[in-house]
A and B are shown apart, each in its own frame.
Chain A
Amino acid sequence: MLKYISYLLLLIFLSINIYHYTISYEVIKLEKQNNSLKKEIFSELDKRDQLQTEWAIIVSPNNLERLAKKYSERLKLRPISGDQITIIPQNIEEGE
C-alpha cells in the first residue's frame, strides 16, 4: 500500500513541478510577447507623434497664409470679417 502511495506522491510531485515549470516559461513567453507589443505600441506612438508634428507644420498659420496667397485667385479666399459674425441670443425659443 505504502508503495502505491509513494508512487502516487511521486507522480503528484512530478506533475506539480512540470506544471510550475510550464507556467513559468509560459509567463516568460508572454512577457516577451508583451515587451514586443509594447515596443510596437511605442513605435506606433512615435509615428503618431511625428505625423501630428508634420500636421502642425502643415497647418501652421505661416504655411496656410502662404498657400492662401498662392491660391487666392482660384479659391477666392478673403479674410474673415466682423460682419460675418452673428450673435445668437441664448434664450432663443426652439423652432418647429
Chain B
Amino acid sequence: MVNDIKIKNRIVAGDDISYLYKQEKSVSNNSLKDKNPNLVGKERLKIALVFFVVFFSIFSVRNTFLSIFPGEVISQPGNSIALSESKPLPDIYDRSGKNLLATTVRTVRAAVVKRSSEKEFDIHKAAIKLSPYLKQDPEVISKRLSKGRYIELVNDISEKEQYELLNSGVAEVEFNNVWRRVFPNKNLASHILGFSNRDFEENSSAGFERWIYKNDIKSERINLSLNINVQNHLEKKLFEAIDKFDAKAGFGIILNANNGEIVALASLPDYDPNKINYYSPANTKEKRFNRAIQGSYEMGSVMKIFTLAMALEEEKIALSDEFDVWKCIDKSRKGCLSDYKKSKVQFLNAAECLIKSSNICMVQIARITGLNTQKRFLSETGILDEQFLELYEMGKPSLPIRWDDLSMEQISFGQGISVVPLSFASAAASIVNGGYLIEPTIYLSENKNKNNTKLISSEVSETMRYVMRQVVKFGSGKKADVEGYEVIGKTGTADKPCSTGGYCGRLTSFVGAFPGWRPEYIILISLDEPQGKKGIRGSSSYWNAAPTAGEIIRLSAPLLNIAKKNESEKFYQNHARAQIQ
C-alpha cells in the first residue's frame, strides 16, 4: 500500500509530506485490527460485559426487592381475606366460663349494588325476579330498590338461599360476609348484656356491649360474674310473680355480699337482644328500661334497716330501748302518722320496732340520731351518689330538695327519697356482711376479699342480722324463709309518688340475705303495682315480694353451693339476745 502511494504521487524535495504520515497511521491501524482479531473480541466483550452488568444489576435489584417485599405481587385481588381475622367484639361467658352469653358469628348478607347507570338497571324487572325469593310483594321490593345504590336485601342467609338468589337472574345481587352478634339465651340477662346493631355502631348499642365499645376492650373472651342458672330462676320466678299478682313490672338483684359481684340481675318486662330493632328504639323503650339500675324508687320500709343500724352504730340507742308507738307524730300533717298495722302494745323495743315495721318508732329513732347524722350515714352507704357499674345506663337517686326535719322523718321510714335499687342492695350488704362497704360489679372479681372500708362495726352488723332474722321468723318476711338457710331480711311496701302529685300504686320489696348465719348473698325483689287477688288477702310485700324472694332463694342457694344448716342461730343470737334482755 505504501509503495502504491509513492508511485502515484512523485515526491520532490520541499513537498509537504505530513499527510502521508496521517494516511500511513490510519492505514497501519486498520491493518493492525485485521491482523489481531483478539483486540476486536476484547472490545466486543467489553460492550457485552457492560450490557450484562446493567441487566444483571436490574435483575438483581428487582429480585432482591421481590424477595423482601413479596406482598407487592402476592396481594392481588382475589387473594385477600374477605373479613378481618379477629372478631369485632369478644365472646361473653358467665362466671363458670362454660355458658356462652354473647358471641359473634360470620353470616352472609345479600344486597343489590347498582354499578350500572339507572337506565340500564330495570328496578321493576329485578323486583319481580326477586319477589319469590324474598317472599315480598314486587311493589315493596321496587320501593326498596329505588333508594340508593347499595340496598340490603336480606341478612343471615344459608348457602341454599344464596344459591337461589344467584339463580334469580338479577346480576346486581352481591353477597358479603358480615359479622353478627348472637345472644344464645335470648331474653336471659338481656338488661345486663344489652345489644349491638349489625354495623357495630357504638351509639346503637346498650348494656355491657356498649361498655365494650366505649372502653375498646380487645380481649377474646370476658367472664362476667353472672350465674346463668341463678339468673334463669330469678327471671322465671319474677315473671311468675308479675303474672300471679297482676303487677306492672318487677326487678330483682342477687349479689355477693362480700365482694359485690352481681350473680343475677333482672328487670321485667325485658327484650330479646337478637330481635331488637336498633333503628326505632322508641318501640321498645318500656322493655329496654332496666328498673334495677336505671330507675330510682322510694323503697319504703326496707330503708328502716339503715335507721336502726345508724342509731346503734352511733350508740344513740340500745336495742332494748323502748318507744311509744301510740304516740301521735307530726301534728302539722293532716293527721297523725300511722303504722301499716297498729301495734297492740304501746311500747316496743328497738328490735320490735323493726320486726313490726313501725313508722312511728323510726321517726323517734331518727329524731334521736339527728338530721346531720342521718345525712352523713346515708352518704357513707353510697345510696345518695350515682353508683359506679360497668354499664352506662346507671340512674341517679332523687334527693329531697330541702333536707329538713320533715325529710329526715320521712326518710327514716323510707319515704321522701328515691334510690337506685342496685345502690340500695349494695348498701344493705354492708349492714349484714360485718359492716364492710362493697362496690357492685358485673366482672368476675379476682379479689375475693372484702373491702376494708367499714360502714358499721361487726357487732352492730351482727345485731342487725339477729333483728332481720326475727323479721323473717316472726314478722312480715315470714314467707321468705327457707328451711336450712335461716334467711334474714326486711319487707317494704311503698306508695309510689304520682307525676300529678300525691301517691298512686305501690312498690313492694323484700331485701334479704342468705345464709343468715354468715350472709354470702344479698337478694332484693321488687314488684311494681302488684294487686291483691282471690286467696291472697293483701297486696303488701308480705303477700308477694317476700314469697317470691323465698322461692328464688330455695332454688338458687344450692346452685351457689350453700349447704343447709339446721343447727340453730347460735352464731350470733347470744350476743343480740343479751343486748335486748
Taking Cβ atoms with an 8 Å cutoff, the residues of A that contact B are: 2-3, 6, 9-10, 13, 16-17, 20-21, 23-24, 27-28, 31-32, 35, 38-39, 42, 46, 49-50, 52-53, 55-57, 59-62, 65, 79-87
Contact = CB atoms under 8 A, between A and B. Distances in A.
B12 interface: no
B100 A52 contact: yes
Given A3-B45, A50-B105, A79-B555, A62 B70 contact: no
Given A53-B100, A84-B558, A46 B563 contact: no
Contacts of B49: 6
A57 B79 contact: no
B42 interface: yes
Interface stretch (B28-36, B126-134, B184-192): B184-192
A86 B70 contact: no
What interface size band does chain B fall in?
35 or more
Contacts of A3: 41, 45
A11 to B, nearest CB: 11
B185 A60 contact: yes
B232 A61 contact: yes
Contact of A24 (B66, B80, B182, B557): B66
A13 to B, nearest CB: 5
Contacts of B485: 82
Contacts of B562: 82, 85
B63 A21 contact: yes
Contacts of A85: 558, 561-564
Given A27-B74, A61-B231, 15 more contacts: A17-B59, A17-B60, A31-B70, A39-B81, A49-B104, A56-B103, A56-B185, A57-B184, A61-B228, A62-B186, A62-B188, A81-B558, A82-B484, A82-B563, A85-B562
Nearest to B555: A79
A13 B66 contact: no
| Majority DSSP secondary structure for residues of A touching B | helix
Contacts of B99: 56, 59
A65 B184 contact: no
A57 B184 CA distance: 5
B105 A53 contact: yes
B559 interface: yes
A19 to B, nearest CB: 9
A42 to B, nearest CB: 7
Contacts of A6: 45, 48-49
A6 B53 CA distance: 11
Nearest to B65: A24
B318 to A, nearest CB: 36
7 contacts: A16-B56, A17-B56, A20-B64, A24-B67, A31-B79, A49-B103, A61-B228
Q: Output the residue of A55, A61, A85 with the most chain B CB within 10 A.
A: A61
B73 interface: yes
B106 interface: yes
Contacts of A21: 63
B160 to A, nearest CB: 15
B571 to A, nearest CB: 15
Nearest to B236: A65
Contact of B74 (A2, A28, A53, A61): A28
Contacts of B236: 65
B52 interface: yes
B559 A80 contact: yes
B79 A60 contact: no
B458 interface: no
B558 A62 contact: no
Nearest to A85: B563
B85 interface: yes
Contact of A32 (B79, B100, B229): B79
Contact of B52 (A13, A31, A56): A13
A87 B83 CA distance: 50
Given A13-B56, A20-B59, A56-B103, A31 B74 contact: yes
Given A61-B229, A65-B232, A80-B558, A23 B67 contact: yes
Interface in B92-139: 99-100, 103-106
